[in-house]
Chain A
């Protein structure tokens, strides 16, 4: 539950929705003390509504990474396309509020959400692939969504509570980088509905792995099972001379070593392919267009592995 504060909380703030809010030592002299002390406590009544809404969704998979630009949205899009191709009912929810890429990756730019008496209707790519993103709610695609955390949390809650997802085999949730409001909220809101787990995306170099380790520790801390780790942008094969170059070199052993060190499953790697970037820009299903490419083989393997783990749970 979000509380509107009069000022940023002090260093040792017990948390605005905690039992201690407004009462702990750190609250003395804080301009928010009164607000926190009087805000309603206890379980969020919306959680029950979300859990009801989610009772028709069999599997919920989060796509996470501590690092930006490693391919979370690309993977989420290809995963959703691939599951839909196998005749599953699929929902794809984009909780990257400030930088929503999903509408473009699914070829849905400029589409709008429709409201009905059962809730908001997702935008459909196919009959069995529905998509929800803040991108569908902007009058101009260049508009900045300058929202603080509390407002972002409110929209994520609406996406879960008010969207008429219908019967789904899979709900794939694409996230922004980091371990902050969006991540805490989605985990908190889905806690009682139950999440299958998270697929973590990284690239091979240490600068990315560093942030991804934080994300793995986040999952462990909040109790989200990790389905496995995907190493994306793993090497580039020159289309002219076929020489392989590690553009983002795995100087510290890449995702394989990290998975071993942190005791999480390594799902596989996907090489760099300029056609992936192009397919993303144009909103097309890359794996279907280039079924024999190395990147497609990579995608297939990690999708198979991650959904198998998810189905066993």
Chain B
């Protein structure tokens, strides 16, 4: 961890809100700005990162210094680690209780040869349990920068996200900002915007709790399709408003100073 300058966790109390999407896009946007980036997936029961970055079926190599992460391209500007790379069969269930998950995460943080990195992005499963406690405990001595919280606009998601924010406050992890994902859908035929999962929820939450609002990401089937496609991830960056919106808040996130957690 010594060679890693910044460590950012991507968290949400709710599942399926786009934590892995935001983690991967965040990592990609940083790579495009010329940074060296590590992407660590600590969702052990449902790892999505290998698929999203198009690295399915790749293996992690072991060296005498530790595990070598998987690099999607030859410049090695992005290094990826996930349990998905360690499974012989991608459909095999990882039926592990907490202590085993904790031990695995500890290994991911201590035994992976990350090398020199500008950023390490940590993608997490939903909740406030073993994985989260393990990551915080393992990273504590390395002073993580803080957490990006992802939510969708609807109330059911916001309720769980409030719990995640309480968790951050309790363990002393600064909150870098809130991203509202799946915010509105624009019909490709008539351009009518429908708020499928309501709207403004993330923005209102950030105002209420005085946390920085990083921005909204609309529902964009092109983004979903991009994630689904696999293949080389870094080169695949189409001219899309959605991805530009993501780029913008990433620039915002890394250029302006870290706000204090409330």
CB within 8 Å of B: which residues of A?
5, 8-11, 13, 16, 66-70, 73, 97-99, 101, 104-105, 141-150, 152, 176-181, 183-184, 203, 205-208, 210-211, 213-215, 217-218, 221-222, 236, 238-241, 243, 245-249, 251-252, 272, 274, 277-278, 280-281
* The 10 A-B residue pairs with the shortest CB-CB distance in the complex, in nearest-first order: A68-B15, A69-B16, A149-B98, A98-B127, A178-B45, A281-B155, A243-B189, A211-B46, A144-B167, A241-B190
Q: Contact check: which of A9, A152, A278 meets B100 at CB < 8 Å?
A: A9
A277 contacts across to B, CB distance below 8 A: 154, 156, 196-198
Whether B126 and A68, one on each chain, are in contact in the complex, defined by CB atoms closer than 8 angstroms, is: yes
CA gap between A60 and B202 in the complex, in Å: 36
In chain B, what residue has the closest Cβ to A272? B196
CA gap between A249 and B225 in the complex, in Å: 7
CA gap between A243 and B191 in the complex, in Å: 11
In chain A, what residue has the closest Cβ to B220? A247
CA gap between A208 and B96 in the complex, in Å: 20
CA gap between A70 and B95 in the complex, in Å: 20
9 A-B contacts, Cβ less than 8 Å apart? A143-B166, A148-B130, A177-B46, A180-B98, A180-B130, A207-B20, A207-B228, A238-B187, A243-B188
> What number of B residues sit within 8 Å (CB to CB) of A?
68
Give the number of residue pairs across the A-B interface with Cβ within 8 Å. 229
Q: Contact check: which of A99, A243, A247 meets B15 at CB < 8 Å?
A: A99
Q: A105-B156, A210-B90, A240-B190 are in contact. Are A180 and B45 (CB under 8 A)?
A: yes
Q: Contact check: which of A11, A98, A141, A239 meets B126 at CB < 8 Å?
A: A98
CA gap between A208 and B188 in the complex, in Å: 23
CA gap between A247 and B218 in the complex, in Å: 11
CA gap between A8 and B108 in the complex, in Å: 14
In chain B, what residue has the closest Cβ to A13? B100
In chain B, what residue has the closest Cβ to A219? B93
Task: Give 11 A-B pairs besides A69-B16, A69-B126, A214-B92 with Cβ atoms closer than 8 angstroms.
Answer: A144-B164, A145-B163, A150-B98, A152-B129, A180-B44, A207-B228, A211-B46, A238-B190, A241-B187, A245-B187, A280-B154
Whether A8 and B103, one on each chain, are in contact in the complex, defined by CB atoms closer than 8 angstroms, is: yes
Whether B156 and A274, one on each chain, are in contact in the complex, defined by CB atoms closer than 8 angstroms, is: no
Q: Contact check: which of B98, B164, B188, B197 meets A181 at CB < 8 Å?
A: B98
CB within 8 Å of A: which residues of B?
13-17, 20, 44-46, 48, 51-52, 90-103, 106, 125-130, 132-133, 152, 154-157, 159-160, 162-167, 170-171, 185, 187-190, 192, 194-198, 219, 221, 224-225, 227-229
Whether B188 and A180, one on each chain, are in contact in the complex, defined by CB atoms closer than 8 angstroms, is: no
In chain B, what residue has the closest Cβ to A274? B196
Q: How distant is B125 from chain A, measured CB to nearest CB, in Å?
A: 7
CA gap between A228 and B45 in the complex, in Å: 21
In chain A, what residue has the closest Cβ to B131? A180
A152 contacts across to B, CB distance below 8 A: 129
In chain B, what residue has the closest Cβ to A97? B129
Q: How distant is B110 from chain A, measured CB to nearest CB, in Å?
A: 12
Interface centre among A99, A142, A183 (most CB of B within 10 A): A99
CA gap between A240 and B44 in the complex, in Å: 41
Q: Contact check: which of A143, A206, A207 meets B163 at CB < 8 Å?
A: A143
CA gap between A7 and B19 in the complex, in Å: 30
B102 contacts across to A, CB distance below 8 A: 8, 148
B45 contacts across to A, CB distance below 8 A: 66, 177-180, 211, 214
A97 contacts across to B, CB distance below 8 A: 129
Q: Contact check: which of A11, A67, A203, A274 meets B195 at CB < 8 Å?
A: A274
CA gap between A194 and B195 in the complex, in Å: 42
Whether A66 and B46, one on each chain, are in contact in the complex, defined by CB atoms closer than 8 angstroms, is: yes
B99 contacts across to A, CB distance below 8 A: 5, 8-9, 13, 16, 149
CA gap between A230 and B45 in the complex, in Å: 20
A177 contacts across to B, CB distance below 8 A: 15-16, 45-46, 125-126
B198 contacts across to A, CB distance below 8 A: 274, 277-278, 281
A241 contacts across to B, CB distance below 8 A: 187, 189-190, 192
Whether A239 and B221, one on each chain, are in contact in the complex, defined by CB atoms closer than 8 angstroms, is: no
CA gap between A249 and B128 in the complex, in Å: 30
Whether B129 and A213, one on each chain, are in contact in the complex, defined by CB atoms closer than 8 angstroms, is: no
Q: Contact check: which of A69, A141, A145, A240 meets B17 at CB < 8 Å?
A: A69
CA gap between A149 and B96 in the complex, in Å: 10
Whether B133 and A101, one on each chain, are in contact in the complex, defined by CB atoms closer than 8 angstroms, is: no
A215 contacts across to B, CB distance below 8 A: 93
CA gap between A101 and B132 in the complex, in Å: 20
Whether A221 and B93, one on each chain, are in contact in the complex, defined by CB atoms closer than 8 angstroms, is: yes
CA gap between A184 and B94 in the complex, in Å: 11
B103 contacts across to A, CB distance below 8 A: 8-11
Whether A210 and B48, one on each chain, are in contact in the complex, defined by CB atoms closer than 8 angstroms, is: yes
In chain B, what residue has the closest Cβ to A208? B16
Whether B46 and A178, one on each chain, are in contact in the complex, defined by CB atoms closer than 8 angstroms, is: yes
B90 contacts across to A, CB distance below 8 A: 210, 213
